Amino acid sequence: MKSVVSVSHSLPLPRKIIHLDCDCFFAAVEMLAHPEWRDVPLAVGGAVERRGVISTCNYPARTFGVHSAMSSARALKLCPQLKLISGNMARYREVSEQIFAIYRRFSDQIEPVSLDEAYLDVTGSRLCDGSATRIAETIRQQVRDETGIVVSAGVAQNKFLAKVASDWNKPDGLCVITPEQQGEFVAQLDVKKIPGVGPRTQEKLMGLGVGVCSELQSLPLIELQNHFGRFGERLWQLSRGEDDREVRTHRERKSVSVEHTFSQDLPDLAACLDQLESLMDDLNTRYERHREARQILGAVVKIKFNNFSQTTAECRAEQPHKGVFASLMEEAWLRGARPVRLLGLGYRLGPREGEAEAEQLPLF
């Protein structure tokens, strides 16, 4: 009789991801410094005469329809009593560093997204009896006690759902999506919550009879690929709550860029081309700090027209010169052929010597 040897194969632990997002961060820092602003509509953004945009605003301002990325002029029309301030980036960085120091008490697997947003991987942590929910609650409390900033949190098995969850009960919210709840939660999720689904993609999905993820799940993968190309596969995965991205503690910069918003619209292509030398000087100054062992792989031009539509044109080029950028600018401008409010130039960068290709970051 043969003996049976039992071999134990340890399965990887299900991930526990926390997404942390400070509520109206820049405005929150300002309200801590100026308590008298707490209950008045407040926004941090650029001046109207410089065609500034809103960076962030507090919740009283949001009741008037003001939101980030809105032009300051539009925000003041919606809310004439809006207190618009230019902000203090040095102070925001200082508070952000205090907050991230608290995060590091709970995990060394931290992926910063911005000054006020981060992912934490707490898989296998023994803190708070191994409960990701309790870790998130403790972090939120410590940040509030030590900095005065309110943080909303989402807890889930992956980054996609953790980010959706952190926005679910804002402001000052905590949302947990357990593995048992994941299927039902995702099925009812509006497709606009999927990263990359903007107004145009949403409109196209609506044309296919898709408004929520359960409806998206019913479409075959090949059909999504036919309609959306490579993004179709990503839609197919995320509509099922599938996301295998790891929390990355280091993100290699893959681009460097500059952009300028003009106080008066540039009326035509010739006026845009007149700005090239100045923009290239700014771009090369910024590139110098990344130059060591960084190869330029391509050139990009961004144009935002006076109707706020925007487009980019790019090409591969190891030594982009003025003629390359001029050609790209003409290509981009002809798509709208109207006055221009913003121009941007950029380089795509290769990896550092000895390092593998890293995740692509947005150029602008």
Ordered structural domains, the chain, with CATH: 14-177 (3.30.70.270), 183-238 (1.10.150.20), 255-349 (3.30.1490.100)
Contact assessment for residue 54 and residue 43, using Cβ atoms and an 8 Å cutoff: yes
Q: Is 241 helix (H, G, I), strand (E, B) or coil?
A: coil
Chain Cα centroid distance, residue 107: 22
Tell me the C-alpha to C-alpha distance, in Å, between residue 312 and each of 44, 151, 316, 339: 27, 35, 14, 16
Helices of type H across 169-257: 179-187, 199-207, 213-217, 221-228, 230-238
340-349: strand order across its sheet: 255-266, 340-349, 296-305, 310-316
pLDDT of residue 12: 66
Query: pLDDT below 70 — which residues of the chain?
Result: 1-12, 251-253, 289-294, 351-364
Residue 110 CB contacts under 8 Å (≥ 6 apart), including other chains: 100, 103, 104, 118, 119, 120, 247, 249
pLDDT of residue 360: 37
Contact assessment for residue 232 and residue 258, using Cβ atoms and an 8 Å cutoff: no
Task: Just list the catalytic residues.
Answer: 117
Q: Report the candidate in 102, 206, 110 with the shortest Cα–Cα distance to residue 151.
A: 102
Residue set of the binding site: 21, 116
Share of the chain above pLDDT 90, in %: 64
Residue set of the binding site for Mg(2+): 21, 116
Q: What is d(CA 197, CA 35) in angstroms, rounded to the nearest whole number?
A: 38
Provide the b/e sequence for 304-331 (b: ≥16 CB within 10 Å). Answer: bbeeeebebbbeebeebeeeebeebbeb
